[in-house]
Amino acid sequence: MLQTDSPQITPILEAARTAARTLATTPTGLKNQALHGIAGTLRASVTEIVAANALDLAVGAAGGLSTGMLDRLSLDPARINALADAVLEISLLTDPVGEVVRGSSLPNGVRISQVRVPFGVVGVIYEARPNVTVDIAAIALKSGNAVVLRGGSAAENTNRVLVGLLQNAIEQAGLPVASVQTIDHFGRPGATELMQARGYVDVLIPRGSAGLIQAVVTQSTVPVIETGAGVVHIFLDETADFQWAVDIVHNSKVQRPSVCNALETLLVHRAAAGRLLPAVLAKLAESGVVLHGDERVREIYPAAVPATEEDWATEYMGLELAVAVVDSLDEAIAHIRRYSTGHTESIITNDIVNADRFLGEVDSAAVMVNASTRFTDGGEFGFGAEVGISTQKLHARGPMGLPELTSTKWIVRGSGQVRG
């Protein structure tokens, strides 16, 4: 039953539900054909997209958007072609819809099977990242979902052009044009209505800043999958291999510091601090990383600036790192328990008991031994496409691929059975 007080966006939501019914039973081949159409349209429309994007970039620059924000907002021909490539990759992935998850024959002969089905209507609220428009639309389409997008005012011109192109390609493939829709023209009130659209929207996914995610989680009455921040830790245990410590810490922090799986806090066992920290921190400093150390770190590496309480809870998303010496594995786990956002933590160790304890006791979406935190990623995990990385425990945890955009239903086949 439908329950909503959203007068403005109701027609869009109703169109989305109707489209979702068609998409739920659309064969994979037809969905792939639409994806090929989308990729072709994107490549053929580079000039149009770049022109619309230039408008958004000009407004953003005049409005004082940060360099990082402007970079995420920007689409050039190379990026547009990469988006088209990603859409083609999604067309190659296995369709999750129809997968039989489990099943059995009951003692009375009734056969039950749990089968993957699309959610139906997926809402996405994001900020100033027009690439998300194409990525999410393609992933939703492949998984049989209609999608309602709220991409924010900063990317409004770009998103309008992109949604128009997506809709044309979808319509040409014979699928409902309302498979992909935007509510950007309704502004913030539209976003609020989307969060309250119980019965219309099956799941809402926020992607963006911690503030955006927090707002969606607290204001929504529809189910939300939270893609959260990453205050990511590495613990260098007493027995950590020297070269692994140097390489993994550097890779985790420096390879792409602006993303959620990048390292933010390094913990070192006191018995290994003297052996490891000078080389580990020197290599980071060479790459321009500003180090915030506690007292014991600064004894070994005086160039570090003093760490404050705030540093332990900070997701820098840039070339900064908090570093602390701890007395034991227990103290490392306690520190992580207190400050981690539950995204990714890694231990570098040669001690099998400590490795197992770390894996068992650290409660994060991904827990690692002797590997870079940068591996928590749908592409690296072999999912092909990534909706985001969930830091909640309900439904999806860690990198989300196509199956995470589906629900299931139980198919029950009898021959007249009744319950005794």
Would you count residue 114 as binding a second copy (CB under 8 A)? yes
Binding segment (CB under 8 A) for a second copy, from list 164-172, 273-281, 298-306, 403-411: 403-411
Residue entry with tokens 């893609």 = 227
Q: Within positions 357 to 376, which residues make up the interface with a second copy, using CB under 8 A? A: 359-361, 363-372, 374-376
| Angle at the Cα of 173 from the Cα atoms of 172 and 174, rounded to 5 degrees | 90
- Confirm or reject binding of residue 411 to a second copy (CB under 8 A): yes
Least distance to a second copy from the beta carbon of 397, Å? 5
Q: Which of residues 183-212 bind a second copy (CB under 8 A)?
A: 198, 202-203
User: Looking up tokens 């990525």, which residue turns up?
Assistant: 135
Min. distance of Cβ 12 from a second copy in angstroms?
A: 19
- Cα separation, 13 vs 201, in Å, equals 8
The C-alpha atoms of residue 99 and residue 293 are separated, in whole angstroms, by 50
Distance from C-alpha of 319 to C-alpha of 315, rounded to nearest angstrom: 11
Residues between 3 and 22 with contacts to a second copy, criterion CB under 8 A: 21
Per rule CB under 8 A, is residue 241 in the interface with a second copy?
Answer: yes
**Which of 164-172, 176-184, 243-251, 270-278 is the region at the interface with a second copy (rule: CB under 8 A)?**
243-251
Q: Which residue has the tokens 């404050």?
A: 308
Q: Measured between alpha carbons, how far is 322 from 329 in angstroms, rounded to an integer?
A: 18
Minimum Å gap between C-beta 324 and a second copy is 17
**Site membership for a second copy, residue 43 (CB under 8 A):** no
> By CB under 8 A, is residue 352 in contact with a second copy?
no
CB 95 within 8 A of CB 166: no
**Is residue 242 within the footprint of a second copy (CB under 8 A)?**
no
DSSP state of 4: -
Taking the complex as a whole, the smallest distance from the CB of residue 280 to a second copy amounts, in Å, to 13
CB of 247 to a second copy, least distance (A): 5
Shortest Cβ 73–a second copy spacing (Å): 25
Looking only at residues 378 through 397 of this chain, which bind a second copy when binding is defined by CB under 8 A? 380-382, 392-395, 397
Within residues 249-308, the interface with a second copy by CB under 8 A covers 250-252, 255
- Nearest approach in angstroms of CB 330 to a second copy is 12
Nearest Cα neighbor of 150 from 105, 111, 104, 181 is 181
Residue 187 or 379 with smaller CB distance to a second copy: 379
Angle between helices 46-62 and 77-92 (to 10 degrees): 120
CA atoms within 13 A on the CB side of 345: 30
Q: Minimal distance in Å, beta carbon 165 to a second copy?
A: 29
Instruction: Tell me the C-alpha distance between 327 and 355, whole Å.
Output: 17
Q: Is residue 340 a contact point for a second copy (CB under 8 A)?
A: yes
Nearest to 261 by CA among 187, 359, 369, 342: 342
Span near a second copy by CB under 8 A; candidates 5-13, 27-35, 55-63, 408-416: 408-416
> What residues between 72 and 91 interact with a second copy by CB under 8 A?
none
181: closest CA among 12, 48, 392, 10? 12
Told to check if 317 binds a second copy by CB under 8 A, we report no
Nearer to a second copy, 106 or 282 (CB): 106
CB 399 within 8 A of CB 259: no
Q: How far apart are CA 361 and CA 225, in angstroms?
A: 24
Hey, what are 128's tokens?
Answer: 């100033």
Q: How far is the CB of 255 from a second copy (least distance, A)?
A: 6
